[in-house]
């Protein structure tokens, strides 16, 4: 395994992070336990979860993933071996079963307390805001369209003050953002700099061969302000395994179970994936490992969040840490990106 530190901290994390959003829906607790056992044994010390998980979110399975992780901590005593990240859910109809008061002080405090109970721990190493409260282009919306009726009011300062109080209580160590845009990221940076408030040290956004939108303004912000990307969906919901274009995806595969998750299923995504598969085949690599290695070796990536529903998939994904793409492969990848840029956004 390879390691780095979370920016603006001395917290050492593996370059591969274990994603957990299938546990409690596609995966049982027993399977979640097996994944955590295996990942930790392979040197993966960074686990990411959220109160929202498992996905798709619904009231019946709400927060089951955190409960599974907490039960594993209780059973194994491995809490001190893991750097644990979780998130408060953002606003919207999708999360109305959780709460409806956004990132208000009461909401953040309640979310942290409830997560701590479910996770059976006294602290969370990295606490993140799952997505912005304001209307902006997240989750595959290509361009920003201003909504003049957006009722959101600027509360960056208030959020950071709330998080500062929770940090002072020892309940969270560091804070980060997720699914955020350039403007929101810099607003948090401004508030932390000019008011001596906690700094957002990471940003957890989608990043993959099919979605390189982060390489725009956010990559510069990441490098200049030292905000590390925790890349999620590096396999594009499994599309970049090649199983869907090969026609050998199981009935239990994510996009077969949940076809409404169509962000990576367009004709352009399919064509780009075929081209990436050829590059991998030509260089005797699996598409999955090539896709993951591409993400991991980007200079703005702090950790690459991988997920799997089966242990053999998890093994292949973690083993990608041993692969470094050479210039020939990178040039071939960039040629596809030039011809079919960001088909998923």
Q: Give domain status of residue 138, yes or no.
A: yes
Active site residue 127: no
Closest CA to 69 of 124, 18, 27, 120: 120
Better pLDDT: 179 or 262: 179
The average pLDDT across 147-169 equals 96
pLDDT at residue number 78: 98
**335 in a structural domain:** no
159 located within any domain: yes
Asked whether the CA dihedral 243, 245, 246, 247 is positive or negative, the reply is positive
Mean pLDDT of the chain: 94
pLDDT given for residue 237 in this prediction: 87
Bigger pLDDT: 90 or 142? 90
Handedness of CA 333, 338, 343, 344 (dihedral sign): positive
Residue 179's pLDDT is what?
97
Q: How far apart are the first and last CA of the chain?
A: 31
Inform me whether the pLDDT recorded for 299 exceeds 90.
yes
Residue 166 is predicted with a pLDDT of: 98
What number of CA atoms fall less than 13 Å from residue 71's CA on the CB side? Answer: 15
Burial of 305 (0-12, 13-18, 19+ CB in 10 A): buried
The answer to whether position 63 is within a domain reads yes
pLDDT over 60 (residue 256): no
Q: What angle do CA 214, 217, 223 make, to 5 degrees?
A: 80
8 A C-beta contact, residue 61 and residue 29: no
**pLDDT at 251 (0 to 100):** 60
Q: Does 140 score more than 80 pLDDT? A: no
Which pLDDT value is given to residue 60? Answer: 94
Residue 224 gets which letter from DSSP? Answer: H
For residue 329, how far is the Cα from the chain centroid? 25
pLDDT tens digits for 91-107? 988 899 999 999 999 99
pLDDT at position 243, please? 80
User: Residue 120 belongs to a domain with what CATH number?
Assistant: 3.20.20.100
- State how many domains the chain has: 1
C-alpha to C-alpha distance for 322 and 289, rounded to whole angstroms: 9
Region 10-24: mean pLDDT is 97
Percent of the chain exceeding pLDDT 70 equals 95
Q: What is the mean pLDDT of residues 42-63?
A: 96
What confidence tier does 257 reach under pLDDT thresholds 50, 70, 90? low
Catalytic residue, candidates 38, 53, 244, 264: 53
Rounded CA separation 172/84 (Å): 10
Question: Token pair for residue 153?
Answer: 């009011």
Query: Dmax over Cα atoms in the chain, in whole Å?
Result: 55
CB atoms within 10 A of CB 324: 9
Instruction: Report yes or no on 286 lying in a domain.
Output: no
Range of the domain at 166: 3-204
Residue 313 lies in a domain: no
pLDDT average, residue stretch 271-281: 96
Residue 145: is it exposed, middle or buried by C-beta count within 10 angstroms (0-12/13-18/19+)?
exposed
245 confidence band (pLDDT: 50, 70, 90): confident
Contact in structure between 116 and 171 (CB atoms under 8 Å): yes
pTM > 0.85: yes
**The predicted structure's pLDDT at residue 76:** 98
> 32: exposed, middle or buried (C-beta count within 10 Å: 0-12, 13-18, 19+)?
buried
What does each C-alpha distance from 50 to 23, 60, 90, 284 come to in angstroms?
11, 16, 11, 36
119 located within any domain:
yes
- Whether residue 122 lies inside any domain: the answer is yes
Instruction: Show the beta-strand stretches assigned E in the chain.
Output: 3-5, 12-14, 16-19, 46-48, 83-88, 124-129, 172-178, 200-204, 228-231, 301-306
Band of pLDDT at residue 139, cut at 50, 70 and 90: confident
255: pLDDT confidence band, cut at 50, 70 and 90? low
The pLDDT assigned to 250 comes to 65
């Amino acid at each position: 395994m390879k390691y780095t530190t979370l920016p603006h901290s001395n917290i050492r994390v593996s370059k591969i992070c274990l994603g957990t959003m299938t546990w409690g829906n596609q995966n049982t607790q027993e399977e979640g336990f097996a994944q955590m056992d295996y990942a930790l044994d392979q040197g993966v010390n960074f686990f990411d979860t959220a109160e929202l998980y498992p996905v798709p979110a619904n009231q019946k399975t709400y927060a089951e993933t955190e409960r599974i992780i907490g039960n594993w901590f209780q059973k194994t005593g491995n809490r001190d071996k893991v750097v644990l990240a979780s998130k408060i859910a953002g606003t919207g109809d999708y999360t109305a079963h959780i709460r409806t008061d956004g990132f208000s002080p009461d909401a953040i405090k309640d979310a942290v307390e409830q997560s701590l109970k479910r996770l059976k721990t006294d602290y969370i190493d990295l606490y993140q805001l799952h997505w912005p409260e304001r209307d902006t282009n997240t989750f595959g919306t290509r361009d920003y369209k201003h909504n003049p009726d957006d009722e959101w009011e600027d509360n960056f300062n208030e959020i950071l003050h709330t998080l500062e109080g929770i940090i002072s209580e020892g309940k969270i160590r560091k804070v980060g953002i997720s699914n955020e845009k350039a403007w929101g990221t810099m607003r948090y940076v401004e508030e932390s700099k000019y008011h001596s408030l906690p700094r957002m040290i990471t940003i957890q956004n989608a990043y993959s061969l099919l979605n390189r939108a982060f390489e725009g303004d956010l990559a510069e912000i990441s490098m200049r302000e030292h905000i590390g990307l925790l890349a999620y969906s590096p396999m594009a919901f499994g599309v970049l395994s090649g199983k869907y274009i090969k026609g050998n995806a199981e009935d239990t595969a994510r996009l077969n179970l949940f076809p409404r998750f169509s962000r990576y299923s367009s004709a352009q995504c399919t064509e780009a994936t075929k081209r990436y598969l050829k590059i991998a085949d030509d260089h005797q690599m699996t598409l999955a490992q090539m896709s993951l290695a591409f993400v991991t070796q980007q200079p703005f990536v702090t950790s690459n969040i991988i997920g799997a529903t089966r242990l053999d998939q998890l093994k292949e994904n973690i083993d990608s840490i041993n692969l470094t793409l050479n210039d020939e492969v990178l040039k071939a990848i960039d040629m596809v990106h030039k011809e079919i840029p960001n088909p998923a956004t």
